[in-house]
Amino acid sequence: MTGPVQVLDQLSRPLRDLRVSVTDRCNFRCQYCMPREVFGPGFRFLPRSEVLTFEEVERVVRVLVPLGVSKVRLTGGEPLLRRDLPLLVRQLSSVPGIRDLALTTNGLLLGRMADHLAEAGLRRVTVSLDSLDPAVFAEMNGVGARLDVVVAGIEAAVRAGLRPVKLNCVVRRGLNDAGLLELAAFARDQGHVLRFIEYMDVGESHGWRLDEVVPSSEVLERIGERWELAPESPTYPGEVASRYRYRDGAGEVGVISSVSQPFCGACTRLRLSADGHLHTCLFSRGGTDLRPTLRSTSGDLQLSQLVQGLWRRRSDRYSEERAQGVVGGPPKVEMSYLGG
């Protein structure tokens, strides 16, 4: 391989993080991501032959490290549905230059997987948890999945040493916004790090409406009325969450304001879909297929040059454009496919 190469995109943003979608399948049907009406029994998920092998994922990661990638997050779809996932964790945790390996999951299978993932070298886990009301939780996950199973999964992660556990809550007006303080209290008590995420118009299948977005400013106001908050400075440039410390010492809470305060200017993320397409934005309308290169006799140098060219051409700033009212174009790729 070549030595380190600093690649900057059209807006001078470096490449730092990679999100790897290990499967486009999921055991939930969250309305805001994979609504049942679209992802029903007739939906055609990727056939196995098209999905990258662990060796192929590892090779892509190794090629990306000299280009600046030091953080990898495994996601999907639901990553814990991917068979033998701890093997991939083991492979990636031994790649030199990867300083941070994390995983985002809906938590349903975490109870039985947490130990295996930790033993394989995973250090951190993020669990999506939209409500602590069992009925709201079951409604939002679209399959009636039980809240207590996910909470037990979170406890298993803590016992396995994957702490602090991060919790992600997507706030949707009229659905789960009444339970924000309850979630904040739970995270404070248990020592979890909670992030409230603004509901986004990812993909095309959920009928997103701006009036269902609860702006982070409103979330912070409500939490601040209950517990006094103090802003924290970012831990690293380009941190997507704005963080606040509870003045009483009970940890921190964060908000991800992708709609009301877009942060494209500091976006250093690249996404790899389960079938080997690279996407340079969460709101991508098309990706670059790595498989012809990965599955040919081409070497790592060609693979690296392909990615360098892609990153150098990158000019994505969808959330900023949305804020300026200038979005439009071909259909966007679904989040469950390209990796949230």
* Binding site residues, ligand SF4, CB under 6 A: 26, 28-30, 33-34, 76-78, 106, 128, 263-264, 267, 269, 281-283, 316-319, 336
Q: How far is the CB of 55 from ligand SF4 (least distance, A)?
A: 24
**Minimum Å distance from CB 200 to ligand SF4?**
8
Beta-bridged to residue 256, according to DSSP, are 197
The DSSP 8-state label assigned to residue 211 in this structure reads G
Helix axes 134-141, 147-159, angle to 10 degrees: 90
Look up residue 30 and give its two tokens. Answer: 């969250």
Decide the pairing of beta strands 166-171 and 242-246: unpaired
Beta bridge partners of residue 245, listed in sequence order: 230, 252
71, 17 contact by CB (below 8 A) = yes
Torsion of CA 303, 50, 27, 76, to 10 degrees: 10
State the nearest-atom distance from the C-beta of 33 to ligand SAM, in Å: 4
Query: Which C-beta is closer to ligand SAM: that of 7 or that of 102?
Result: 102
User: Considering beta carbons, is residue 303 or 338 the nearer one to ligand SAM?
Assistant: 338
Q: In angstroms, what is the minimal distance from the CB of 279 to ligand SF4?
A: 9
Those residues with Cβ within 8 angstroms of residue 219's Cβ, 6 or more apart along the chain or in another chain: 171, 180, 196, 255
124-128 vs 229-231, strand pairing mode:
unpaired
In the bound state with ligand SAM, the residue whose beta carbon lies nearer, of 106 and 242, is: 106
Residue with the CB atom nearest ligand SAM in the bound state: 340
Nearest approach, Cβ of residue 311 and ligand SF4 (Å): 12
The dihedrals phi and psi of 285, each to the nearest 5 degrees, come to -110, 5
Cβ closer to ligand SAM: 56 or 204? 204
- Residue 57, amino acid: V
Q: How many residues bind ligand SAM (CB under 6 A)?
A: 19
Query: For residue 78, what are the CA distances in angstroms to 60, 177, 196, 226?
Result: 21, 24, 20, 34
How far apart (Å, rounded) are the C-alpha atoms in residues 60 and 306? 11
Contacted by 257, from ligand SF4, ligand SAM, none: CB < 5 to 8 Å by type: none
Can residue 307 be called a binding residue for ligand SAM (CB under 6 A)?
no
Binding partner of residue 199 among ligand SF4, ligand SAM, none, CB under 5 to 8 Å per kind?
ligand SAM
Site mask for ligand SAM (CB under 6 A), range 39-78, x = bound = ------------------------------------xx-x
Whichever of 184 and 306 has its CB closer to ligand SAM, that residue is: 184
Instruction: Tell me the CA distances in angstroms from 36 to 32, 142, 150, 206, one per residue in order.
Output: 10, 7, 21, 10
Contact between 137 and ligand SAM per CB under 6 A:
no
- Could you tell me the smallest distance in angstroms from the CB atom of residue 110 to ligand SAM? 10
Spatial contact of 126 and 167, defined as CB atoms under 8 Å apart: yes
Cα dihedral sign, 175-178-184-185: negative
Residue 202 touches ligand SAM, criterion: CB under 6 A: yes
| Contact of residue 255 among ligand SF4, ligand SAM, none (CB under 5-8 Å per partner type) | none
Q: Is 172 helix (H, G, I), strand (E, B) or coil?
A: strand
The residue among 15 and 33 lying less far from ligand SAM, judged by its C-beta, is: 33
Considering the complex, state which of residue 169 and residue 193 has its C-beta at the smaller distance from ligand SF4.
169
Which residues make up the interface to ligand SAM (CB under 6 A)? 26, 32-33, 75-76, 78, 104-106, 128, 168, 170, 197, 199-200, 202, 335-336, 340
